[in-house]
Amino acid sequence: MLKTILLAALLTCASLAQQAPQSLQELDKAAKQAVTAKNYDQALEYYRTISEREPKSVDAVFQIGWIYNEQKKFDTAARWLKKAAELDPQDIRVQSELGFAYGKLNNAEASVEAFGRATQIKPDSPSAWVGLGDANFELKKDSKAAAAAYAKAIELGNASSSTFYRLGWCLNDLNQHAEAAAQLKKAAALEPKSATIWLEWGYALLRSKQYDEAVQALTRATVLDPKERLGRLYLGRTYLLMKNKAQVVRQIQELKVLDAKSADLLNEELRQANLK
């Protein structure tokens, strides 16, 4: 009986061994299939095996780093991607993924550096420039550098609402409000139901003294998000500059429900303006 059990176990192991991928080509195919199925632990096993057999395989090391990013293990991902970058400093995939990992680790300098290398490797890559813009925007809070990167991405064909919005936000921060309004108008056309975009656009129009257009944009923001206090505040200030006291008072009443401090602030601005 024991011999029968042992024989069955040996046959099972032999069968599994025959089914397991053997060649590098088979391992790579199996790894890709595992990634497609989101079976990341299995994919890691295959790519680790490839990396052990072919220590200079940039793709295997990159894929390991990519998988760890997908698993939100960013510190481990960064270590593998740094190794891939050492194997091939000119691989744009590696630099971009490394920039992403460093970004998630809040390492602003390293993220900007990695995305900067990506733009140097492939200067005509819109995604690399967006990555550089995001690193400067989100991590370094450098509106000037972020705006330059987003503008380059748009020039190269990136026409997403997010890129237009972030460029517009940065231009507002740089007091280039007319230029900001032009970019935010494009963002609103692509994503017309975003209260955030309409709010930022309205602010740009207000600061560039396009008051009628500002009223339209800010009103739209408050319709899309009735709890948006800044929309009401900016709308009140726009009406104040237009000397429309009745509408300013209306915004103050709305703000009393949303944010008493903003209501008091706008009320004080109305008092100082001394509108008849």
Helix H, strand E, coil C: the string for 64-91 is: HHHHHHHCCCHHHHHHHHHHHHHHCCCC
pLDDT-based confidence at residue 262 (cuts at 50, 70, 90) = very high
Kindly report the average pLDDT of the chain as a whole number: 92
Q: Decide if 121 contacts 95 (C-beta within 8 A).
A: yes
Sketch out the chain's domains with CATH numbers: 32-158 (1.25.40.10), 186-276 (1.25.40.10)
pLDDT at 72 over 90: yes
Q: Taking the mean position of all CA atoms in its chain, how far away is CA 200? A: 18
Dihedral, CA atoms, 236, 239, 245, 246, nearest 10 degrees? -80
Helices (H), the chain: 2-19, 24-36, 40-53, 58-70, 74-87, 92-104, 108-121, 126-134, 143-155, 161-173, 177-190, 195-207, 211-224, 229-241, 245-258, 260-273
pLDDT at 23: 86
Region 136-146: mean pLDDT is: 98
46 Rama class: left (phi>0) / alpha (psi -120 to 50) / beta: alpha
pLDDT at 244 over 70: yes
Helices (H), 208-242: 211-224, 229-241
pLDDT at 134: 98
Q: What is the pTM of this model?
A: 0.87
Sign of the C-alpha dihedral, residues 131, 185, 222, 199? Answer: positive
Helix (H, G, I), strand (E, B) or coil at 274: coil
pLDDT at 21: 63
